[in-house]
């Protein structure tokens, strides 16, 4: 009673069986898929800008990181003695990195693909890339602004900056010792930021040796709400009752034209750093305003530039290169990947240098509360 199989009723699919093979504007769907794959590959070569200034790529699950910046010293030679040997730094701490997988899908019916233009299809991918950008930046900032200690999947401790509550004391730097209560999470105690807040954070970072060496730059990361206030400060003038600014805020090289009766002495901050616009400088630090920084919070960070090993946060990727970066995966029907495709990225974060940044909450309260960042 078995009947033979005829044509497209079974067996292999042929080109004539395809319901739709081009968009409404005549672009081959295979070309659209190839373009999306190429854009995704290019996207992986450009780390999101805010995150790259704060973090460094690693595939380690945990790293023994020296927690201070210092150098060895020569001693005067004696005629019969032997010189002191240099050994590995003793002030290292095992810093863990957490890890999670994130994904998002694009889905189209064949009728939708038939009637959509190629621009409409690629606009969906643009939204996915923007979501990936937001996810990375937000996750890196959350690790920097959140003092809560976590555990990695391998049960290593994942730290934020120094909290003064976990029993870990910052190591001495140039003979200066720090109390166990040292915290890099500060509350302003006032509803408006003032110059002393920034100056205190700069001292917290530089007193531990960060932001002083060649190739390291102090950055002030602020929401435009606080950034606009910082830009009004002038040396010798009050920024709050009884608080006098120690420096002038100097606009950067790409600032709009302005008039001044004063001479600018010293080097002006560049117009951009790590492809992010620099508004100007306050003392040794350059101000970068970004909507990614939550309103009411400011950070001072010693950065070595995009993806520098001097940056405070470790950005963990999978040890297998095939699982690194943003991956685009054909869905259930791999013959027509545009109908159902997945975008996936796995990564984790953890602070590597606990003294290389300081964070401030602008609040009338005396205690720091971490912001709630939305992914």
Structural domain boundaries of the chain? 21-66+92-259+291-361
Alpha carbons 29 and 171: distance in angstroms, whole number: 59
Q: Quote the percentage of the chain above a pLDDT of 70.
A: 79
pLDDT in tens, 118-159: 777 777 888 888 888 889 999 999 999 999 999 999 999 999
Give the pLDDT band of residue 316 (cuts 50, 70, 90).
very high
Beta strand spans in 255-362 (E): 272-273, 276-277, 280-282, 285-289, 297-303, 313-316, 327-330, 340-351, 357-361
**CA neighbor of 107 nearest in space, from 130, 125, 133, 126:** 125
**CA neighbor of 210 nearest in space, from 235, 249, 184, 188:** 184
Give the pLDDT band of residue 11 (cuts 50, 70, 90).
very low
The reported pLDDT for the residue numbered 190 is: 96
Give the lowest-confidence range in 17-26, 188-197, 217-226.
17-26
pLDDT in tens, 54-113: 999 999 999 887 655 555 667 777 766 677 766 555 567 789 999 999 998 877 777 777
Q: CB of 140 within 8 A of CB of 55? A: yes
């Amino acid at each position: 009673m078995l009947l033979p199989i005829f044509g497209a009723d079974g067996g292999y699919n042929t080109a004539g069986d395809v319901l739709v093979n081009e968009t409404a504007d005549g672009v081959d769907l295979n070309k659209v898929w190839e373009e999306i794959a190429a854009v995704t590959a290019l996207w992986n070569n450009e780390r999101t800008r805010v995150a790259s200034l704060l973090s460094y790529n690693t595939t380690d699950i945990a790293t023994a990181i020296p927690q201070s910046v210092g150098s060895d010293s020569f001693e005067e030679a004696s005629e019969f003695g032997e010189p002191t040997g240099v050994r590995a730094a003793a002030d290292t701490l095992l810093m863990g990195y957490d890890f999670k997988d994130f994904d998002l899908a694009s889905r189209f019916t064949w009728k939708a693909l038939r009637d959509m233009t190629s621009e409409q299809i690629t606009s969906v991918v643009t939204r996915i890339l923007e979501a990936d950008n937001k996810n990375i930046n937000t996750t890196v900032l959350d690790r920097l602004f959140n003092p809560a200690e976590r555990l990695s999947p391998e049960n290593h401790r994942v730290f934020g900056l120094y909290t003064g509550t976990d029993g870990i004391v910052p190591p001495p730097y140039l003979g200066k010792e720090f109390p166990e209560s040292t915290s890099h999470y500060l509350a302003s105690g006032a509803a408006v930021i003032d110059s002393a807040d920034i100056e205190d954070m700069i001292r917290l970072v530089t007193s531990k040796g960060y932001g002083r060496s060649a190739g390291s730059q102090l950055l002030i990361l602020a929401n435009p709400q606080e950034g606009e206030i910082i830009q009004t400060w002038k040396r010798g003038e009050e920024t709050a009752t009884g608080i006098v600014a120690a420096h002038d805020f100097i606009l950067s090289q790409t600032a709009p034209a302005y008039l001044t009766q004063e001479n600018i002495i010293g080097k002006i901050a560049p117009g951009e750093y790590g492809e992010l616009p620099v508004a100007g400088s306050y003392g040794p630090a350059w101000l970068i305003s970004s909507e990614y920084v939550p309103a009411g919070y400011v950070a001072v960070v010693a950065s070595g530039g995009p993806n520098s090993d001097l940056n405070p946060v470790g950005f963990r990727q999978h040890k297998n290169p095939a699982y690194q970066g943003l991956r685009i995966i054909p869905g259930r029907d791999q013959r027509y990947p545009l109908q159902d495709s997945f975008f996936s990225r796995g990564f984790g974060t953890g602070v590597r240098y606990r003294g290389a940044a300081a964070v401030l909450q602008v609040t009338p309260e005396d205690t720091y509360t971490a912001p709630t960042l939305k992914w």
